[in-house]
Chains A and B, each alone.
Chain A
Amino acid sequence: MSEYVIIGNGTAAAGCIEGIRSIDSEGKITLISKEKYKVYSRPLISYLLEGKTDVERMKYRGEDFYEKNNVSFFPGISATKIDADKKEISLDNEEKISYDKICVSTGSSPFVPPFEGLDSVQKKFSFMTLDDALSLKEAINPESRVLIVGAGLIGLKCAEGIKDLVKEITVCDLADRILSSILDAECAGIMQKHLEENGIKFLLSDSATKFESNKAYMKSGKEVEFDVLVLAIGVRANISLVKNIEGEVNRGIVVNTKMETSVKDIYAAGDCSEGYDASIGGNRVLAILPNAYMQGFCAGVNMAGGEKEFSNAIPMNSIGFFGLHVMTAGCYDGECFEEKREGVLKRFFVKDNKLIGYMLIGETDRAGIYTSMIREKVPLDTVDFELLRKVATTFAFSNENRRKKFGGVV
């Protein structure tokens, strides 16, 4: 009977459990979780603050998930070391457990640069975990002025989540636009305007250089007074377990399309890993939830002796703030086709007769049709691309293709 150990308890871990169990219903699964909670949806923490969900409903899987899948769950414990020769894992409670296969799904941690005077700030938070969110919630009140450093997804989601709970929110970022890693300037501008209309203030191309208790000194010379500080500058993949035993790492733990690391019997999945990105044809960290699940599942299948490859991962995001949604996928080089209407901007990026990326704002209905075109590399001369740019419809596909899609005998 195989012994599987999964380190980390996020979405990738859940995927891994389900992947293993799709092949092997017997093998022993041990789950090492630094957090004390059963698996929950990390991206929901902003919705929790917003009141759209609660701790109970945030659970990613049912209450009996571990029992049903026969998983030994070790909450509140971290793995400190892997001994690949002895096939042993050391835990922070001094125990050691043996393994046949490991899945490292340790996720990522907030990256906090060494700001001067940061120690002087009393109420400062990251926004990654349920605990982060719960303590932030404790710290704020309707009179709070909040400064969020970082106008990325985490920072802005945080802003949306606490908007109605505080008096004032300012978001600053060194970049010249919000969501700089995802959106181009024009889209970012539209979203920024929307956020501003909803009461969020921005200080862009600017960042704190120094903190003094409740005051931030900005690069531009501005000073921002705040009661609560949220640091959402960026994240770093948690790679040390593999790096320490000389496994190949880069910005994340390097894996192939079967989620194998360079170390035998050790797999990695989720935000800590650096896997194949079909949109660029090379490896990179794709820290998005769907990816984490699919990588985890793929790792699980392979760990249990199955055969599975996950080779069509692409970056994609659905981001909404205060009712305005942006969807993006793939990459943005190649020829750009644009559709623009009042409140709607769509950009499609085309290369070699294929759709390789898009960015939609204002109208995101049925965007999955575009996503699938990127993933399936559908040749554009087989579809009515002109129609597709206007509206996402399967009608743009050839009859034959459509028939296949809808069940053979359309």
Chain B
Amino acid sequence: MKREGEVRIPSGCAIAAVISKDGNRMSGQKIYECMKPMHDRSNGLGGGFAGYGIYPEYKDFYAFHMFFDDRDTRKNCEVFLKERFEIVKSEIIPTRKIPQITNEPDIWRYFVTPLKSMMEKMQTDEKEFVARSVMKINTEMKGAFVFSSGKNMGAFKAVGFSEDVGVFYRLEEYEGYSWTAHGRYPTNTPGWWGGAHPFTLLDYSIVHNGEISSYDANRRFIEMFGYKCNLQTDTEVITYIMDYLIRVKGLTLKEAAGVIAAPFWSTIEGKSDPAERERLTYLRTMFPSLLVTGPFSIVLGFDGGLMALNDRLKLRSMVVGEKDDKVYIASEEAAIRSMEPDAENIWAPTGGEPVIIKVKDGAY
């Protein structure tokens, strides 16, 4: 049987997220508890979380979360890391042994900062340097996989049901101003830890429910710009697209949403504001190959916020609710109620309409 990355595996899923607009930190327990009512949306072949604001004491360092098949792989990889980065701390990510989660690889984290000399040599900025380094490890080092590489954030994922994955990673011991969660239902895979969601690059993390029909069009386009889609998952390609549009091309979140979930031409033509019409036409014409079609609901986590987005036909469920300073997003309302029984203003965003929530400036 082919492993994830060697073959493209379609899957259905559950997603959930929470964010405090005031930057109040929340324990990770809530987020994995909330996946329980959506148990049936996963099949135990993958679950994971991303937490933002969880490493305040190392917030200036890139936190690399990594899987290693064995000790030798890790040692080799650490040599590579040391060539490029200053490692301020390296440790095993603490886990809890539970019968539901087995066969775990070696799971480590490194807080690193790029070596200036190397960046100058490669003529790149810091983020590009980190991204390329991650891509290099994931592409070229068999048995080593960077599954989280942002600052003051981290992804935690495993093969198993997500609620168990949360327990496994002791998420109740972390506090973050926002969390995203994912439970996976791949239709045909032995399950691989690296293939679980969220998928991340730098501080972008994506949880995704859907199976996009534009995958290969998107992949073959984005790969022109140095990205390598090793996992052949939607999440991966969407993450790269978001990174490309926002970080490389400098689009805003809303503009990026206008590319990947571009409104129909008829909708664009119906816009009364000519500037809006022009902008949307421009984005669609300029980035046709980054239009994502087919069903998806995604939550993009980034430094200081979340963006939820459905495909433009809204072929996947996704609801949003609020309470006080918190905003909740989930595939099902039950998950929101689990986190906040008194959640208000529950609504289902329309297809292609991004929901962007940002933490107040300076609050994280």
Q: Do chains A and B touch in the complex (CB under 8 A)?
A: no
Chain B residues near A (Cβ < 8 Å): none
